[in-house]
Structure 1
Amino acid sequence: MKAAENFQGKHVLVLGLAKSGYAAARLLSKLGAVVTVNDGKPLEENPAAQELIGQGMNVVCGEHPLSLLDSQVDLIVKNPGIPYSNTLLIEADKKNIPIQTEIELAYQISEADIIAITGSNGKTTTTTLITEMLHHSGRTPLVAGNIGIVACEVAEQATDDDVIVMELSSFQLMGTDTFRPKISVLLNIFDAHLDYHGTKEDYIAAKARIQSKQQASDYLVYNASDDVVTQIAQSSEATKIGFSTVDLVEDGLDVVEGYIRYKKTAIIAVSDIMLPGKHNIENILAAAGAAILAGASLTQIQHVLRTFGGVEHRLQFVKKHDERLFYNDSKATNILATSKALEAFDKPVILLAGGLDRGNSFDSLIPSLSGVKSVVTYGETKEKIAQTARSINIQSVQVVNQLDEAVRIAYNESEEGDVILLSPACASWDQFKTFEERGQAFIQAINNL
């Protein structure tokens, strides 16, 4: 680890546990910091907090008392999910106490180069593709951040022979200060997480932090067809590599006459790519650009693109059963993600959708429903989505309570050659703890047919 001595003797408040807070507390203690941990969950229900007490740390549970700021606090490392509207954070800001996420901690100690990926959609697919391309090219990629292991845990073990491939959310990036990846990837920016950030401008500013400290010796791989992303890129000091599926990009990546190109050199025919979906071509361009810059070979990039079938729960091909194709897109927790999934197919689609009701309508899904022959809805939003489907005269609209019922109905409605797609357009929390649990339930229901 580099710069480990920077934390010796510092008084650090770790706000919020979960995986990232627990890992940060342990690492900071190992680096010689005086660590206080504060978590909202009561101690008797909090095994992670109990374990940290056993390791000699001061732990305060059940609330976030302002008295924690009465003694010396040099730094706060907060869980990304805790909003800056938290009263303790507001008071800390008034006292000019630095507030960071463990992503900043990971950067400061990492001996390995970092490839950082962010965007409103496509982060996980792009991160996984980069990792696969580097792995097959003989590099040692370590996945961290929003997927994989907590970033500071990975950075603690990484050497200068490794490369950390880090998926980052706006929540994580907002808590960075000196963070400077060797390669940053900025995929797209849509309206998202405004309940956390307050305004779209603040959301954009958080995303833009991925490249804000980069210099000319670093690289920014960016979507040259996204106006917001392009504006960010124009102000970046990094060496810029653009990508686009609609425009020519002479010094970057584009698609010409059915071929993906890098600096005018054809890499692979789009028809040879296994991963479905027009939107995934953007992810592929971004991943190929970052992987090339990090030393991946074109031969191995081609191999990955011919064999990679998708990230689990993100437009994941599950199986072919009775000549029906089943796809698991449980990670589609909003309308935009479901729209992208529907646009990926030129076969008839039976859509399974529904979940937590956030109070929004589903009218913005209508333009993407043109290729849908049947809709099966379930969960809290079942009636809302069904009403939207009926409003445009979808051939068949069925309403059920549970996902396993929806799978059986969808199969009975289907014909050979149909795509049966779970793409909920909603969060999972009405019936499942996570979108992963929902996706596994979908796969199990398919296997039970």
Structure 2
Amino acid sequence: MKTITDYKEKNVLVLGLAKSGMAAAKLLNILGANVTVNDQKPFEENEAAQKLQEAGLKVVCGDHPLELLDGVEVIVKNPGIPYSNPLLAEALKRNISIITEVELSYQISEAPLIGITGSNGKTTTTTVIHKILEESNKKPLIAGNIGTVASEVAELATSENVIVMELSSFQLMGTKTFKPVISVFLNLFDAHLDYHGTREEYAHAKANIFANQTSSDYAVVNADDETVMSLAKSARATVVPFSTSKVVESGAYIKDGSMFFQQEEIMPVREIVLPGKHNLENILAAVAAAKLHGASTEAVKKVLTTFTGVKHRVQYVATVQDRKFYNDSKATNILATKAAVTAFEQPVILLAGGLDRGNEFDELKPYLKNVKAILTFGQTAEKIERVAKEAGIQTIKRVDNVEKAVPEAYQLSDAGDVILLSPACASWDQFKTFEERGDMFIDSVHRLK
């Protein structure tokens, strides 16, 4: 860990606990800051706050009093807390610097960073980069929106490591000096507009990944996404494109059934075991980033011929009586479900529904051609049923939850079918997390066996 004095004797407010807030508070304390922690959850129910108070930090729980801002020089906020929060709105008026914990991680990291962002595919791409670099003995560490909190990883990293970091728009909004040696921008679709307000603000937050890069850094970008390419024009880094539809000789691409990187043939596409065109995009991005950091072609081949996917992202679960079950609980928006459904040539029985964020699902309609039945649940059940009827799907059934959907889907299926949980919605109407929803699906499938 780098020894920095940026926070020594500074009054710093950590807003919101959870894992990243807890890590930030501990780190700032080590760095000599005068730390105050503020969390909405009442103190008597807040184990994290109690531990921090025991460690000697000032803790205020239950609400966000504006008096906390008096004398504060920096706020480190939980990424999920919107800037419309009254405390943050007032802090902005007072020109108090607001950052997220990933900014701290960059400031203390001895290791170079590879940062991955985009609306979909971040976790798969991050995981594939990590695996290829690991296979190439590059000593990678994985962090950010996936796995361990970024600053905890950065504390342990040395100059011999490389940190592969998944980054959300929420995290990137709170960066000031953050600079990856390789940035990866996968795609941009309407998402999190309830947080960002407009697509433009969302895009601007994502583009922060380029903001501090220089000509000695790389920006791996999706040449098939017009918005990403438009945003990449502002990048001072060396732009390295990837594309599934055209030859981009300075980057990663498909030609004559093989994958290439900068004119080097890597391997035939048919040997890649992860299904779906969307995953081919993720793989091209991952290969570009890994090769730019010195990964071997042999390592790329080994990973791509064995890697079957990340849990909850079009994850193969089991085969029961010649029906294949896939868990794509991470599909919390329409685009992710579109990608999952079109990844299969077999007939699909789709399990979908969840939190109602006010959107309709008409965009999904053209992609339901191989869906033979839909089981719906959650707040959006009725909206998804309407689209299914308009798409000509004959079998539509509503169930209470994912657990009930699995045996019902099995009863409706035939040998050779795919039964796919890909909800197209967030999980928060019935679950705490999409992982909890996916685990319920997995458990229900195993009970069928």
Structure 2 residue ranges without an equivalent (≥5): none
Is 1:61–2:61 an aligned residue pair?
Answer: yes
Name 1:118's counterpart in structure 2.
Answer: 117
Q: CA deviation at 1:228?
A: 1.2
Name 2:445's counterpart in structure 1.
Answer: 446
**What whole-Å deviation, never above 9, does each CA across 1:270-298 have from its counterpart, x for those lacking one?**
11111001111110000000011112111
Q: CA deviation at 1:250?
A: 1.1
Q: CA deviation at 1:27?
A: 0.5
In 1: Cα distance, 2:335 partner to 2:26 partner: 38
Aligned partner letter, 1:14:
V
Aligned partner letter, 2:206:
K
In 1: Cα distance, 2:214 partner to 2:199 partner: 26
Name 2:14's counterpart in structure 1.
Answer: 14
Q: CA deviation at 1:79?
A: 0.7
Aligned partner letter, 2:55:
Q
| Structure 2 residue matching 1:50: 3-state secondary structure | helix
| Structure 1 residue matching 2:175: 3-state secondary structure | coil
Name 2:320's counterpart in structure 1.
Answer: 321
Q: CA deviation at 1:189?
A: 0.8
Aligned partner letter, 1:20:
S
TM-score of the superposition, structure 2-length normalised? 0.98
Q: CA deviation at 1:3?
A: 4.0
Deviates more, 1:173-182 or 1:431-440: 431-440
Is 1:427–2:398 an aligned residue pair?
Answer: no
| Structure 2 residue matching 1:307: 3-state secondary structure | coil
**What whole-Å deviation, never above 9, does each CA across 1:198-257 have from its counterpart, x for those lacking one?**
111111111111011000111111111111111122221101110011121011111111
**What whole-Å deviation, never above 9, does each CA across 1:162-197 have from its counterpart, x for those lacking one?**
110100000000000011111100001111111111
Name 1:176's counterpart in structure 2.
Answer: 175
| Structure 1 residue matching 2:345: 3-state secondary structure | coil
Q: In the alignment, is the contact (CA less than 8 A) between 2:9 and 2:33 conserved in 1?
A: yes
In 2: Cα distance, 1:358 partner to 1:74 partner: 35
Q: CA deviation at 1:327?
A: 0.5
**What whole-Å deviation, never above 9, does each CA across 1:30-53 have from its counterpart, x for those lacking one?**
111110111111111111111111
| Structure 1 residue matching 2:241: 3-state secondary structure | strand
When the two chains are superposed, the root-mean-square deviation of aligned CA atoms in Å is 1.1
Aligned partner letter, 1:349:
V
**What whole-Å deviation, never above 9, does each CA across 1:92-135 have from its counterpart, x for those lacking one?**
22222111001111000000010000001110000000011111
Q: In the alignment, is the contact (CA less than 8 A) between 1:274 and 1:309 conserved in 2?
A: yes
In 1: Cα distance, 2:202 partner to 2:427 partner: 24
Q: CA deviation at 1:383?
A: 2.7
In 2: Cα distance, 1:201 partner to 1:383 partner: 30
Matches within 5 A, 1:374-413: 374-413=373-412
Q: CA deviation at 1:409?
A: 1.4
Q: In the alignment, is the contact (CA less than 8 A) between 2:182 and 2:218 conserved in 1?
A: yes
Name 1:339's counterpart in structure 2.
Answer: 338
Name 2:191's counterpart in structure 1.
Answer: 192
TM-score of the superposition, structure 1-length normalised? 0.98
Q: CA deviation at 1:5?
A: 2.4
Aligned partner letter, 2:438:
G
Matches within 5 A, 1:10-159: 10-70=10-70, 72-159=71-158
Name 1:416's counterpart in structure 2.
Answer: 415
| Structure 2 residue matching 1:213: 3-state secondary structure | coil
**What whole-Å deviation, never above 9, does each CA across 1:312-358 have from its counterpart, x for those lacking one?**
00000111221111110011111111111011111111111122223
In 1: Cα distance, 2:45 partner to 2:398 partner: 38
Q: In the alignment, is the contact (CA less than 8 A) between 1:3 and 1:108 conserved in 2?
A: no
Q: CA deviation at 1:405?
A: 2.0
In 2: Cα distance, 1:220 partner to 1:295 partner: 15
Aligned length: 448
Q: In the alignment, is the contact (CA less than 8 A) between 2:337 and 2:422 conserved in 1?
A: yes
**What whole-Å deviation, never above 9, does each CA across 1:44-70 have from its counterpart, x for those lacking one?**
111111111111111111111111122
Name 1:4's counterpart in structure 2.
Answer: 4
Structure 1 residue ranges without an equivalent (≥5): none
Is 1:348–2:365 an aligned residue pair?
Answer: no
In 1: Cα distance, 2:46 partner to 2:343 partner: 43
Aligned partner letter, 1:395:
Q
In 1: Cα distance, 2:214 partner to 2:109 partner: 18
In 1: Cα distance, 2:325 partner to 2:416 partner: 10
Q: In the alignment, is the contact (CA less than 8 A) between 2:14 and 2:76 conserved in 1?
A: yes
| Structure 1 residue matching 2:260: 3-state secondary structure | strand
Deviates more, 1:229-238 or 1:389-398: 389-398
In 1: Cα distance, 2:176 partner to 2:97 partner: 9
Aligned partner letter, 2:428:
W
Aligned partner letter, 1:6:
D
| Structure 1 residue matching 2:6: 3-state secondary structure | helix
| Structure 2 residue matching 1:318: 3-state secondary structure | strand
Deviates more, 1:13-22 or 1:373-382: 373-382
Deviates more, 1:392-401 or 1:209-218: 392-401
Is 1:370–2:369 an aligned residue pair?
Answer: yes
Q: CA deviation at 1:393?
A: 2.0
